[in-house]
């Protein structure tokens, strides 16, 4: 039974991690109808004191969440179309001197936010390709093909999870300056794309998903003469759309949020993504235009989140918390 109280927590290991927007329609079932429940029983809910106080508590909670969760973002949206003088003098007044749509156009064209936006998209797209490639081939190797060296590889991948990111900062930077082969990758997108692929979290996530796929299907495909490539391309990949969705969404969001690494390896402003570029706009632009630029950088992640809410809220995002 799926009620509002039955939240799947094991999305990252089961094949049905796909967004299931219909499921929430059944939220109105009483809690007692399910074999999973929370602290309050339906008997508790029948007591007027409990019901009234819970309604009050939940009202207050909703108000606070709106204030804290949406408040700053709404304020940002308002600032983006408010004349600079009004932002500075009366930040909380609602458009005392009209709306300045010009902020957005000025940010997009004159401050070249359009270019940095495009850079952000390119950085995110390349990081996504690299992460998906490594995670799917690696997960397939470790879960399905399982050569003799799989155990060693798996431990080597797993152990990187225990190394804090700060340890890699300088040596990775020097690797970008002097790669084992080829010229310096400084000021090329490769410097952001390739390291993004070395995500142990992605590999383990995909591997655990592949582990949960029925072995009989692989055996049947092998009996029909499918080699490793065909098995990967025509059987495993089509079955792994849910987990690819999870990996993709988190790859895009993480790359959109990244700051320190692109700051280090893309010193050329023409290549920098939005998050690196925004701080340097601070001094040189109007407050209104800066706010418009901030708002433009926020749109994509918020839209992605709203579109794929289930992926974020079902616990698959634990990795984001782990990475810190």
Q: Is 38 helix (H, G, I), strand (E, B) or coil?
A: coil
153 binds another protein (CB under 8 A): yes
Place of tokens 């952001």: 192
Nearer to another protein, 99 or 260 (CB): 260
CA angle 205, 244, 167 (to 5 degrees): 45
Task: Please enumerate in sequence order all residues whose Cβ is within 8 A of that of 27, keeping only pairs 6 or more positions apart, or say none.
Answer: 3, 4
One of 44, 211, 224, 270 touching another protein (CB under 8 A): 44
One of 56, 118, 145, 237 touching another protein (CB under 8 A): 145
Task: Work out how close the CB of 50 gets to another protein at its nearest, in angstroms, rounded to a whole number.
Answer: 7
Cβ of 223: how many Cβ atoms within 10 Å?
8
Secondary structure, 3-state, 148-216: CCHHHHHHHHHHHHHCCHHHHHHHHHHHHHCCCCCCCCCCCCHHHHHHHHCCHHHHHHHHHHHHCCCHH
Can you read off the two tokens belonging to residue 206?
Answer: 């995909």
1 binds another protein (CB under 8 A): no
305-324 residues in contact with another protein (CB under 8 A) are: 305-306, 309, 312-315, 317-318, 320-322, 324
Task: Work out how close the CB of 112 gets to another protein at its nearest, in angstroms, rounded to a whole number.
Answer: 17
54-73 residues in contact with another protein (CB under 8 A) are: 54, 57-58, 61-62, 65-66, 68-70, 72-73
109-128 residues in contact with another protein (CB under 8 A) are: none
156-195 residues in contact with another protein (CB under 8 A) are: 156-157, 160, 162-175, 177-180, 194-195
Distance of CA 212 to the CA centre of its chain: 23
198 binds another protein (CB under 8 A): yes
215-244 residues in contact with another protein (CB under 8 A) are: 216, 219, 222-223, 227-229, 232
One of 22, 43, 46, 238 touching another protein (CB under 8 A): 43
Furthest-apart CA atoms within the chain: distance in Å: 74
């Amino acid at each position: 039974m799926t009620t509002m109280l039955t939240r799947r927590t094991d999305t990252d290991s089961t094949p049905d991690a796909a967004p299931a927007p219909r499921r929430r329609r059944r939220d109105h079932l009483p809690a007692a109808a399910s074999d999973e429940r929370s602290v309050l029983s339906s008997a508790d809910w029948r007591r007027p004191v409990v019901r009234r106080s819970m309604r009050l508590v939940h009202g207050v909670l909703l108000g606070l969440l709106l204030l804290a969760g949406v408040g700053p973002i709404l304020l940002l949206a308002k600032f983006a179309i408010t004349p600079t003088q009004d932002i500075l003098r009366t930040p909380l007044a609602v458009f005392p001197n009209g709306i300045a749509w010009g902020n957005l156009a000025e940010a997009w064209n004159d401050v070249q936010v359009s270019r940095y936006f495009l850079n952000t998209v390119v950085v995110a797209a390349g990081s996504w390709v690299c992460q998906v490639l490594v995670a799917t081939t690696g997960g397939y190797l470790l879960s399905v093909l399982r050569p003799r060296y799989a155990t060693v590889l798996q431990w080597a991948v797993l152990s990187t999870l225990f190394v804090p990111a700060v340890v890699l900062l300088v040596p990775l930077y020097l690797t970008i300056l002097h790669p084992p082969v080829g010229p310096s990758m400084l000021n090329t997108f490769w410097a952001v794309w390739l390291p993004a692929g070395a995500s142990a979290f992605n590999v383990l996530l995909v591997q655990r998903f592949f582990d949960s796929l029925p072995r009989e299907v692989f055996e049947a495909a092998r009996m029909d003469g499918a080699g490793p490539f065909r098995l990967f391309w025509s059987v495993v990949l089509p079955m792994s759309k849910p987990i690819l969705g999870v990996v993709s969404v988190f790859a895009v969001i993480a790359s959109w949020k990244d700051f320190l690494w692109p700051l280090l390896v893309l010193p050329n402003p023409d290549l920098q993504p939005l998050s690196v570029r925004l701080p340097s706009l601070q001094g040189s632009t109007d407050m209104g235009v800066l706010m418009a630029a901030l708002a433009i950088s926020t749109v994509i992640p918020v839209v992605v989140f709203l579109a794929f809410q289930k992926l974020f809220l079902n616990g698959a995002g634990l990795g984001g918390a782990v990475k810190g």
